[in-house]
Structure 1
Amino acid sequence: MPQPTSQQRASVASSQSTQGAVGWSAATGWVALFVAVALVVWFVSLDMRHLVGPDEGRYAEISREMFASGDWVTIRYNALKYFEKPPFHMWVTVVGYELFGLGEWQARLAVALSGLLGIGVSMMAARRWFGARAAAFTGLALLAAPMWSVAAHFNTLDMTLAGVMSCVLAFMLMGQHPDASVAARRGWMVACWAAMGVAILTKGLVGIALPGLVLVVYTMVTRDWGLWRRLHLALGVVVMLVITVPWFYLVSVRNPEFPNFFFIHEHWQRYTSNIHSRSGSVFYFLPLVIGGFLPWAGIFPKLWTAMRAPVEGTQARFRPALMAGIWAIAIFVFFSISRSKLPGYIVPVIPALGILAGVALDRLSPRSWGKQLIGMAIVAACGLLASPVVATLNANHIPNSFYRAYAVWVAVAFVVMLLGIAAARLLLRRGVLPSVAVYAMGMYLGFTVALLGHETVGRPASGADIAPQIAQKLTPEMPLYGVQMLDHTLPFYLRHPLTMVGQADELTFGATVEPQRVVPDVDSFTKLWKNGQPAMAVMSPDTYLALAPTLSMYVVARDWRRVVVANVASLAGPQ
């Protein structure tokens, strides 16, 4: 048989190279399109809902008051001292206000960036230890997980904390890689300590307590005591203190009551008692984790396998998957035994689960992935069939008519998910990665539809619809009383804080240390209301009915949740 000439061999090689380049170019184009769609949806959806209470309105208004006053040390909410949380989240939000003005998407910018940061650093760590394919799966797992992608669109401190804590975990994993040079390890560990400092400035001592707990449990399980020598403790602690001490020092000097309230009341008493009436069973977070990581619930057993398996191709003593697994388990147990529970507390476990999911998906066969698709198709179909149940709800004193409208959005969300699953099934012939990518996008878009549909419930509760009518008559100098009602969203839309009357709710501490800034009871409010100075007041419909027989009040605006009244007839709205 005649042998191919050198010219023929060169022609074949050139053809193969051209085909490879075309294939690579096509793959790059699809990846770029995927990322572009995900980012557009991520940021555009920030401005498609009104703020909901309590958290979104609270932190938007705290940041607005910080923005207006220029005081970045003493945190105030409705002009009262508010020391339940440190200021980092509000600082980032104020920067957003400075750059882009006041608004709803600006108020959510901190959490949106935190969510993207968490995805990015988790992918970086997964790529370093497990390869580019596992990193891609990690990003897809987090994008599709509603506890991550949806939480990154609600203005809460929990998401900002989770984003920073994902940096703590990722930088730790980067710094412990066996191929890291001494300088690189020191740099990553300094970054890890710096992230812990930012976490402390975001939500207090959990920023160091949770990583510390994870490290202790990890070393007890692995007996890798040498890890502590690789943490650069002395330098790291100095970096962390440089980040945290200035604000804690300044706020304590300016407000001597701060240390006792913040460290004792808001940390020790909150964790060990039911002082805030936020109790729950020891299983409180279990359905939240399952639901929050629902698209990947079928591979939970494989996460356990991935956690226990050593890293292939390395003799490193450090076990990154085990560290991620212990991170998720230890934090889950820590909050499960706490006497104070809220859904957002558990968000920091999601990046660790995302890394484990990335490792598990990287090792998943097409046949196994096909079974997962069938299982999720059944779940989504059941969700679609059950969506009319939403139309029967009447929870949290919200009128049923709003839930009936939301039920349609829920149904559409499940349809989008089912379409994504069908497309993923068709693409499975091209490999697991393309199929998982389309599946993740379908889940992400489906949960985004459900998120946007929540506007049917959130908008009427926000007060945004009546705010323009009130703002026409409300002046900056005019008192705006909150009569036995702390409205978390209306002050932000009015750009005007409340003066609390009677029940101060979560502002009790601020009312206690600055009693001159509140009205102690309804009798005192009545005297102020009748003194001739124009004023407005916000109250519940029940309070309005109780006061109307004895107090002259002219309705400025009202909705199902609140009535806004004035003490001067000229301020009244159209009847």
Structure 2
Amino acid sequence: MKRPLAIALLFVLLWGMGLATRSITRPDEGRYAEIAREMAVSGDWVTPRLNGIIYFEKPPLQYWATAQSIDMLGPTALAARLWTALMGLLGVWVVWRTGDRLFGHGSGKWAALVLISSLYYAALGHINSLDMGVSVWMTVSVCAFLRAQVEDRRWMILAWAGAAAAVLSKGLMALVLPGGALILYSLWTRDLSPWRRLDPIRGALIFLALAAPWFMLSEAAHPEFFHFFFIHEHFERFISTVHQRVEPFWYFLPILLAGWLPWTGLLYASVIRPLRGFHSRVFSPQRFLALYALLVVLFFSLSGSKLPSYILPAFPPIALLMGRILAQRPRLPVSAMGLALLWSATLIFAAAALRFPDLAAQWGIQADIDADMVAPYQHFAGWMLAASTVLMAGVLLALRWRATALKAFTALALSCLMAVQLLMQGSETLSDVTSSQRIATDYATEFRDASHIYSVGTYDQTLDYYLQRTVLLVAFQDELTFGLTLEPWQSIPTLAAFRVAWQNETGARAIMAPATYDVLAAEGLPMRIIFRDTRRVIVARI
């Protein structure tokens, strides 16, 4: 008993690395951290605001949790990422417990090991976005549903509560995907037995009691909410390209294959084989999980809006299926060690290309990197080599201990998680591009003394978070368009209006793109440069 607990503790400690030491990056981390910070400051738990502007694109559960973290820990990187990291660990634990109950033979520990060490899940567990939270609450709901089918029907109470939390995390997709999987399962197997154990009346009451109040309060406060949230942010996002995230149908396939490194070789046996053969009328958890995972990938492949993190909900069910396969033959797959070595070799090649760009050019590799970022990427190459070394060490240890399955799996899984953590920490070398943390720190006095901070034609959410104050947007709407239609006084709509405002005060600061600065300087606008690089210029009124 002591050894599994020690292994689990080691993974938990390793999981916590880097949460507090990496700068908050834009756009997602900055956006969701800043919304939570403003919620903590204002005490308004109904209306999310970004830069002081109404922001109803997503529901508030993660904002609520992160606002509590900020109240306890201050506006830090750890506070911003804590909810995501805890959700990631919760997902691993749920998979562990569910695997053991559904499939036995220690399936849960294998499922937990492959999930926590997969490239995609480990990386997204350390980035402040909404996808980990919704994925884990969907996993809680689906796993409770499965246990209600094979054990006690009362598990449906947790299934409905998990569904409510998932909807409050990211919206209706948390209902559509599990519900669609149930319909697909019934059509595929001609098994209607799961429908008789849904406990729909009590479940609907639980779901509505938990999820409905925020939606009703938001609509009462802002009558435009329902149309924007349900029509624009759900149906129009899915069926159109209004959000300009257009990618080909196969976009998620390479993400799925690379994201499961080093366990990609288990995908076919885990997900496809359960769908083959005779379909009895006895409920099959593995068939349901396979259909659910495939539906998640297919659903977002058909969507007109695609981002890499969208298919994260497919990873926990696939991990359960992998755990089931591994429990039947508990021996570290050769493919996992081979793919870990391939991952290591890829990192070495990429590091060489970044460290020696002239040599890479001779190989025909032309990296699109600004001149002032060559050195940071060269420093990042060192972290890539460190991650590669850890992966190779993990493979060597796994080979040495291959006769003992748990030791071999643990060695490889720990090395993969460590490699991801090294890459994540190494990304801090690029923080001058991805975050405003250094600027906010280096020029804190300039910003603190400003009567207004104008953000001209651009908006960096991380600047708000690190300055702990909002900026005044100029000629910029983007994701804040809906909020600005409700509260147009929250921004300056044109450069012409900005020129007038700038002339009328003496203590202002502004941030803008270099091209914008050149235009305004040529017009004689009184400005003193505080900071300039290839991406932004910060000026003071003179």
Matches within 5 A, 1:66-145: 66-131=39-104, 133-145=106-118
- Offset at residue 373 of structure 1 (A): 2.2
Larger radius of gyration: 1
Cα distance in 2, alignment partners of residues 249 and 437 from structure 1: 48
Matches within 5 A, 1:24-35: 28-35=1-8
> Partner of 1:153: helix, strand, or coil?
coil
Q: Which residue of 2 aligns with 1:346?
A: 311
Aligned residue-pair number: 530
Cα distance in 2, alignment partners of residues 372 and 146 from structure 1: 12
Change (3 A) 1:520 1:259: same
Change (3 A) 1:378 1:280: closer
- Offset at residue 525 of structure 1 (A): 0.5
Q: Which residue of 1 aligns with 2:262?
A: 295
Q: Partner amino acid for 1:189?
A: M
Q: Determine if contact 1:463/1:559 at 8 Å carries over to the other structure.
A: no
Verify: 1:322 aligned to 2:295, yes or no: no
Q: Partner amino acid for 2:453?
A: L
Q: Which residue of 2 aligns with 1:566?
A: 540
> Partner of 1:551: helix, strand, or coil?
coil
Verify: 1:409 aligned to 2:383, yes or no: yes
- Offset at residue 301 of structure 1 (A): 2.5
Q: Which residue of 1 aligns with 2:360?
A: none
Q: Which residue of 2 aligns with 1:237?
A: 204
Q: Determine if contact 1:123/1:136 at 8 Å carries over to the other structure.
A: yes
Cα distance in 2, alignment partners of residues 371 and 214 from structure 1: 30
Matches within 5 A, 1:15-414: 28-131=1-104, 133-177=106-150, 180=151, 184-186=152-154, 188-304=155-271, 307-308=274-275, 317-364=282-329, 366=331, 369-370=333-334, 372-391=336-355, 392=357, 393-394=367-368, 399-414=373-388
- Offset at residue 254 of structure 1 (A): 0.7
Q: Determine if contact 1:536/1:566 at 8 Å carries over to the other structure.
A: yes
- Offset at residue 476 of structure 1 (A): 8.2
Q: Determine if contact 2:272/2:290 at 8 Å carries over to the other structure.
A: no
- Offset at residue 379 of structure 1 (A): 4.4
Q: TM-score when scaled to structure 2?
A: 0.93
Q: Determine if contact 2:262/2:336 at 8 Å carries over to the other structure.
A: no
Change (3 A) 1:521 1:445: same
Q: Deviations over 1:122-173 (max 9, x none)?
A: 1111010122521110110111112111101000011111111111121112
Q: TM-score when scaled to structure 1?
A: 0.88
Please identify runs of 4+ aligned residues in structure 1 that moved more than 6 A. Answer: none
> Partner of 1:50: helix, strand, or coil?
coil
- Offset at residue 35 of structure 1 (A): 2.0
Q: Determine if contact 1:461/1:561 at 8 Å carries over to the other structure.
A: no
Q: Partner amino acid for 1:46?
A: L
Cα distance in 2, alignment partners of residues 337 and 374 from structure 1: 33
- Offset at residue 544 of structure 1 (A): 1.5
Q: Deviations over 1:329-364 (max 9, x none)?
A: 011100001111001111110001111111111123
Gapped regions of structure 2 (runs ≥ 5): 358-366
- Offset at residue 389 of structure 1 (A): 2.9
- Indicate the RMSD between aligned Cα atoms, in angstroms: 2.1
Q: Partner amino acid for 2:98?
A: A
Q: Determine if contact 2:33/2:465 at 8 Å carries over to the other structure.
A: yes
Q: Partner amino acid for 1:412?
A: A
Q: Percent identity?
A: 34
For residue 477 of structure 2, the aligned residue among 504, 508, 518 is: 504
Cα distance in 2, alignment partners of residues 50 and 103 from structure 1: 9
**Bigger mean CA offset, 148-157 vs 125-134:** 125-134
Q: Partner amino acid for 2:378?
A: R
Q: Partner amino acid for 1:485?
A: T
**Bigger mean CA offset, 524-533 vs 85-94:** 524-533
Cα distance in 2, alignment partners of residues 396 and 208 from structure 1: 44
Cα distance in 2, alignment partners of residues 44 and 144 from structure 1: 14
Cα distance in 2, alignment partners of residues 305 and 545 from structure 1: 58
Q: Partner amino acid for 1:217?
A: L
- Offset at residue 387 of structure 1 (A): 3.1
- Offset at residue 365 of structure 1 (A): 5.8
Gapped regions of structure 1 (runs ≥ 5): 1-27, 569-575
**Bigger mean CA offset, 553-562 vs 246-255:** 553-562
Q: Partner amino acid for 2:205?
A: V
- Offset at residue 404 of structure 1 (A): 2.1
Q: Which residue of 2 aligns with 1:424?
A: 398
Cα distance in 1, alignment partners of residues 50 and 92 from structure 2: 32
Q: Determine if contact 1:394/1:400 at 8 Å carries over to the other structure.
A: no
Q: Partner amino acid for 2:236?
A: Q
**Bigger mean CA offset, 268-277 vs 373-382:** 373-382
Q: Deviations over 1:39-65 (max 9, x none)?
A: 122123201210111000011111111
Q: Which residue of 2 aligns with 1:6?
A: none
